[in-house]
Amino acid sequence: MPEAFFTVDGDSYLPGPLTRGPWGAALGGQNVGGLLAWGIERSGLDPDLQPARLTVDLLRPVLLEPVQIRTSVLREGRRIKLVDGTLVQNGRTVARASALFLRRGEHPEQQVWSGPVEMPPLPDGSDGFAADMPFLIWGYGASLGGSPGIAAGEWEQAHSQKFAWTRLFRPMVQGYPLTPFTRLGFVGDITSSLTHWGTGGLRYINADYTVTASRLPDGDFLGLAAQSHYGTAGVATGTATLFDRHGPIGSSTALAIAQPADAFQPSYQ
């Protein structure tokens, strides 16, 4: 079993070294969202409810110190459930999430327009991983074959659509298996890097991200296809389509604010 991102210590969760993000001595947004999704799911859900939307607000830097999870149900009806989750550190709320669950039912027999989008094929040779690699990612943009890692060479293209296949292989919390909802919460943060990376590198740090899904992903791989980036006066919004191995399942968006050119320092390439 690979090393987990967090371990349990009483009512707290201890972040391991692999949770550190690229913006300084703080957790990466994907670990913040992944842990919140894990905590919301552990609060108790009806299996007939579809996790349809998760919004993660990155309120403050989450230090590499113990955190607690608090969850509450804001609305529960016959066809809908709304659950809030917060991360608390040193007595302060440092991040929060809102998750909307909708009851599955009979699907209408009709055709509805949607824009065409296609992902590159799943990458080959994805079974191995380095001991110090938090998760696996392949970026596509400049080449059809893609490149492993953060893939700056693939994404620093002014007029090239960007793609990423990811594979999360580590448990979020030691002793608990990964779930499709936790994968969604984790991968949604990558939307910001994918959609906001330009010819000058990644110059934006996201303040939030939202994932919507028509169904839960199947398998280890989740893909993102960048659809748009709009920015004005240091504020940017980016959108991507989410895929699993069968095809598109939903979308993700990330709001971000401009950062200095040397602020982004990924721990691995």
Work out the number of other CB atoms within 10 angstroms of the CB of residue 142.
16
What's the pLDDT score for residue 141?
86
| pLDDT number for residue 149 | 75
pLDDT for residue 176? 95
- What is the rounded CA–CA span in Å between residue 50 and residue 47? 8
pLDDT per residue, tens digit, the chain (269 aa), is: 789 999 999 999 999 999 999 888 899 999 999 999 999 999 888 889 999 999 999 999 999 999 999 999 999 999 999 999 999 999 999 999 999 999 999 999 999 999 899 999 998 765 666 667 889 999 898 776 788 876 666 787 656 789 999 999 999 999 999 999 999 999 999 999 999 998 888 999 999 999 999 999 999 999 999 999 999 999 999 999 999 999 999 999 999 999 998 888 876 44
Single pTM value for the model: 0.94
> Rounded CA gap, 222 and 99, in Å?
19
pLDDT at 232: 97
Task: Please tell me the predicted confidence (pLDDT) of residue 269.
Answer: 44
The architecture CATH gives domain 6-104+131-258: Beta Barrel (2.40)
| Token duo for residue 220 | 């280890």
Residue that is written with structure tokens 């607690």 in the block: 68
- State the pLDDT at residue 125: 62
Cα–Cα separations (whole angstroms), residue 1 to 16, 131, 133, 172, 177: 15, 12, 14, 12, 10
pLDDT of residue 59: 97
Find the radius of gyration of the CA atoms of the chain: 18
The tokens for 166 are 């990811």
Contact between residue 8 and residue 15 where contact means Cβ atoms under 8 Å apart: no
CA 143 distance to own-chain centroid: 24
* Structural contact between residues 207 and 256, judged by C-beta atoms closer than 8 angstroms: yes
* CB neighbour burial string for 219-252, b if at least 16 within 10 angstroms, e if fewer: ebbbbbbbbebebeeeebbbbbbbbbeeebbbbb
